[in-house]
Chain A
Amino acid sequence: KAGVTQTPRYLIKTRGQQVTLSCSPISGHRSVSWYQQTPGQGLQFLFEYFSETQRNKGNFPGRFSGRQFSNSRSEMNVSTLELGDSALYLCASSLAKEGVFFGQGTRLTVV
Chain B
Amino acid sequence: AQRVTQPEKLLSVFKGAPVELKCNYSYSGSPELFWYVQYSRQRLQLLLRHISRESIKGFTADLNKGETSFHLKKPFAQEEDSAMYYCALKGSGGYQKVTFGTGTKLQVIP
Question: What residues of chain A have their CB less than 8 Å away from a CB belonging to chain B?
Answer: 31, 33, 35, 41-43, 45, 48, 50, 55-56, 90, 92, 94, 96-105
Q: Is A104 a contact partner of B98 (Cβ separation < 8 A)?
A: no
Q: Which among B13-21, B22-30, B40-48, B66-74 touches the partner chain? A: B40-48
Smallest CB gap from B98: residue in A:
A100
Given A90-B44, A99-B49, A101-B46, verify A43-B94 contact (CB < 8 Å): no
A-B contact count (CB 8 A): 54
Q: Is A42 a contact partner of B103 (Cβ separation < 8 A)?
A: yes
Given A42-B103, A99-B49, A99-B88, verify A105-B97 contact (CB < 8 Å): no
Q: Which residues of B contact A90 (CB under 8 A)?
A: 44
Q: Which range holds the interface residue count of chain B?
A: 20 to 34
Given A99-B90, A102-B43, verify A45-B97 contact (CB < 8 Å): yes
Q: Is B43 a contact partner of A43 (Cβ separation < 8 A)?
A: no
Interface members, chain B 73-110 (any A CB < 8 Å): 86, 88, 90, 94-103
